Amino acid sequence: MSEDPDLRHVSFEGMPANGRGPHLRVQPGLAVAARLPAGRRAVDPAPSGPTVSFARWVLHRAGLDAASYRAESLRRRVPACLRALKLRTEREAQQRIARHPELLPDAVSSLLIGVTGFFRDPDVFDALRRCVLPALARRRGQIRAWSAACASGCELYSFAILLAEAGLLDRASLLGTDCRADVIEQARAASCSIAVARGTGDRFFARYFEAAIAGGWRPIEELRRRADWKVADVLKVVEPGPWDIIFWRNTAIYLNPGPATLVYHRLVAELSPGGFLVLGKAERPPETLDVVPVYRCLYRKGGA
């Protein structure tokens, strides 16, 4: 892989002195599942119990891959789910959801953590501005960015603002996907409170936000028309590439190792050579991925 001059002086926590991290390639055609013992699937070793069984029942009823989520993560979220439904027990909640399926979206959203915000982890977005955008600017043609598990879309709009600042928005194609239809509708509406919008800073707020007709504030039309939104579960469907950058932040930490590893490999397979993968602060990709660390949370695919 050729070295990008804009990446030479970027440090990475834990990076060797030569600036290179682990760079292990997967042999073509080698299935990730083949790395597990025959006949076994990597699952959460924690016992399920009735609380986790309820959580997985909710996710399964919503058509999601319930077995892929860590039992402990689901267990911690069940009290929030019961509060959202204003019920006391899992049994009451299951019966109520069975009789009133319109409650299912609220139950799912309360089980799956969807915390987001504009420029969340500012140092990561600063690294994107300093390191990624110059590399993308040198590429010809369309710049394609995908935010998987995008929640209400603040992450993708934050990147759109960076593209606009760099004069690259006019050739950008942005996609946000999430398994929850209600949050995708929020992303399409793109409405937020003035406090959330002002959290981007005075300059960005003045330049890239406008009052929404239905109340609140939203990104300007120039940003909104560049973004498409789609209901899709990244555990089941990977959007076809090639993508120049994929955001998959703060999702893998809630998954069992086997499913998370499969998604990592599928995402990187859809990256263009030299494309970028952006992860959450607590996430590290498996060593079998054909990526090198560029900055904390930021990885680059080989081949460019």
pLDDT band per the 50, 70, 90 thresholds, residue 215: confident
**What pTM was estimated for this model as a whole?**
0.83
Distance (Å, whole) CA 248 – CA 263: 10
Distance (Å, whole) CA 22 – CA 289: 9
Q: What are the sequence ranges of the domains in the chain?
A: 49-111, 119-301
Put the strands of the sheet holding 243-247 in their side by side order: 227-231, 172-178, 143-148, 243-247, 271-278, 298-301, 291-295
Contact 136, 245 (CB under 8 A): yes
| pLDDT over 90 percentage in the chain | 78
How many C-beta neighbours within 10 Å does residue 254 have? 19
Contact 94, 57 (CB under 8 A): yes
> Does 278 have pLDDT greater than 80?
yes
Length of the chain: 304
Segment holding 122, helix H or strand E: helix 122-127
Segment holding 206, helix H or strand E: helix 202-208
Q: Which residue, 189, 180, 209, 291, is CA-closest to 246?
A: 291
List the structure tokens of 236.
Answer: 């089941």
User: Which one is predicted more confidently, 245 or 17?
Assistant: 245
**Considering the domain 119-301 in this protein, what is its CATH number?**
3.40.50.150
Tally DSSP H helices, then E strands, for the chain.
12, 9
pLDDT band per the 50, 70, 90 thresholds, residue 38: very low
Q: State pLDDT tens for residues 102-118.
A: 999 999 999 997 778 89
Contact 278, 298 (CB under 8 A): yes
Q: What is the pLDDT of residue 5?
A: 37
Q: What is the pLDDT of residue 304?
A: 64
Distance (Å, whole) CA 301 – CA 56: 34
Q: Which residue, 76, 74, 40, is CA-closest to 57?
A: 74
Distance (Å, whole) CA 282 – CA 261: 15
Q: Which of 16-30, 48-62, 90-104 has the lowest mean pLDDT?
A: 16-30
Q: 3-state DSSP call for residue 293?
A: strand
What average pLDDT is seen over the chain? 85
Mean pLDDT of 29-43: 37
175 Cβ partners below 8 Å, 6+ apart?
A: 144, 145, 146, 147, 156, 227, 228, 229, 230, 239
Q: What is the pLDDT of residue 48?
A: 55
Q: State pLDDT tens for residues 46-83.
A: 445 678 999 999 999 999 999 999 999 999 999 999 99
Distance (Å, whole) CA 267 – CA 147: 11
Q: Directed axis angle between helix 71-85 and helix 90-99, to 10°?
A: 70
Q: 3-state DSSP call for residue 64?
A: coil
CA distances from 178 to 89, 183, 239 (A): 28, 7, 12
Q: Determine if the peptide bond prior to 242 is cis (ω within 30°).
A: yes
pLDDT band per the 50, 70, 90 thresholds, residue 22: very low
Q: What is the pLDDT of residue 31?
A: 33
pLDDT band per the 50, 70, 90 thresholds, residue 21: very low
| pLDDT over 70 percentage in the chain | 84
